[in-house]
């Protein structure tokens, strides 16, 4: 048995090539968030901002702050859990901001239900939002999975779920300037489906992509 290990050690030492240690998880998360911001800027140039009339309701602002914090926390947690030996408790970091995001969105939905404002935006708005979310989510997912693969995620499904949450939250944050302030039930339902879908696809595909032999 010892001979088998000696052989492997010789093989690996013979194949050794210099590598640059990966930057810290915080830096890598910041790089990914920067790329997301860049994507948002490009989209801002393409789409004219709509629905900016007047001050946005407090709960909408709160929801957006929650989504932004969720994106930051989930991205950081995903990069931390991709490094062996880091405490897995970091995975809980995005839960409080996610609760804020979902809670505030639910509140906005309730407000719209209690005191409806005449809906100026038609059905096509919801479809547009769905397209926007998917268009933003796909490149961001591909980027974060490619970045995470360079590390060694020992819990691929957990890391992939955090990556999915980061992508969904970032997409929701980027959507905010182009989105009417009123959160109708259809909207929040669409958002929830997209968020769940992005996380699910990331776990299914990303979990496999992140598995190291």
Partner 1 sequence: MALEGELAAMMAAAQRGDAAAYRALLKACLPVVAGIARAQGVRGEAVDDVVQDTLMTVHAARASYDPARPFLPWLGAITRRRAIDRLRRAGRRPVEVHDPLAFEAEADPGPAPGAHLETRERGAALARAVAALPEGQRQAVEHLGLRELSLEETAALTGRTKGALKVNLHRAIKALRASLTREGE
Q: Please, what is the minimum distance in Å from the beta carbon of residue 83 to partner 1? A: 5
Q: Tokens standing for 62?
A: 């709160």
The answer to whether 100 contacts partner 1 (rule: CB under 8 A) is: no
Binding map of partner 1 across residues 79-98, x = CB under 8 A, - = no contact: ---xxxxx------------
The answer to whether 8 contacts partner 1 (rule: CB under 8 A) is: yes
The answer to whether 16 contacts partner 1 (rule: CB under 8 A) is: yes
Distances from the Cα of 84 to the Cαs of 72, 148, 151, in angstroms? 21, 12, 9
User: Is 121 exposed, middle or buried (CB count within 10 Å of its CB: 0-12, 13-18, 19+)?
Assistant: middle
Q: Which is nearer to partner 1, 13 or 48 (CB)?
A: 13
Q: What one-character-per-residue DSSP string does 152-165 give? A: --SSHHHHHHHHHH
Q: Which of 63, 102, 151, 165 binds partner 1 (CB under 8 A)?
A: 151
Q: Which is nearer to partner 1, 8 or 92 (CB)?
A: 8
Q: Which residues contact 109 (CB under 8 A, 6 or more apart)?
A: 183, 184, 185, 187, 188
Q: Please, what is the minimum distance in Å from the beta carbon of residue 145 to partner 1? A: 15
Distances from the Cα of 192 to the Cαs of 73, 107, 147, in angstroms? 19, 14, 26
Q: Which stretch binds partner 1 (CB under 8 A): 3-11, 32-40, 160-168, 198-206?
A: 3-11
Tell me, rounded to whole angstroms, the distance of Cα 177 from its chain centroid.
Answer: 18
**Sites of contact with partner 1 (CB under 8 A):** 1, 4-5, 8-10, 12-22, 24, 82-86, 150-152, 154-155, 212-213
């Amino acid at each position: 048995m010892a001979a088998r290990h000696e052989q492997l050690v010789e093989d690996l030492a013979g194949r050794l090539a210099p590598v640059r240690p990966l930057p810290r998880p915080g830096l890598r998360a910041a790089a990914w968030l920067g790329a997301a911001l860049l994507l948002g800027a490009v989209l801002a140039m393409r789409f004219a901002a709509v629905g900016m009339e007047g001050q946005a309701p407090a709960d909408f602002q709160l929801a957006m702050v929650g989504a932004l914090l969720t994106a930051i926390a989930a991205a950081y947690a995903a990069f931390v859990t991709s490094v062996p030996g880091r405490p897995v408790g970091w995975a809980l970091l995005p839960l409080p901001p996610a609760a804020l995001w979902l809670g505030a969105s639910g509140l906005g939905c309730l407000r719209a239900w209690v005191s409806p404002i005449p809906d100026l935006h038609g059905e096509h708005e919801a479809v547009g939002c769905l397209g926007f979310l998917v268009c933003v989510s796909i490149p961001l997912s591909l980027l974060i999975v490619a970045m995470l693969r360079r590390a060694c995620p020992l819990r691929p499904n957990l890391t992939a779920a955090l990556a999915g949450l980061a992508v969904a939250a970032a997409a929701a944050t980027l959507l905010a300037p182009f989105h009417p302030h009123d959160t109708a039930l259809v909207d929040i339902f669409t958002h929830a489906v997209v968020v769940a879908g992005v996380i699910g696809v990331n776990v299914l595909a990303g979990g496999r992509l992140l598995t190291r032999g």
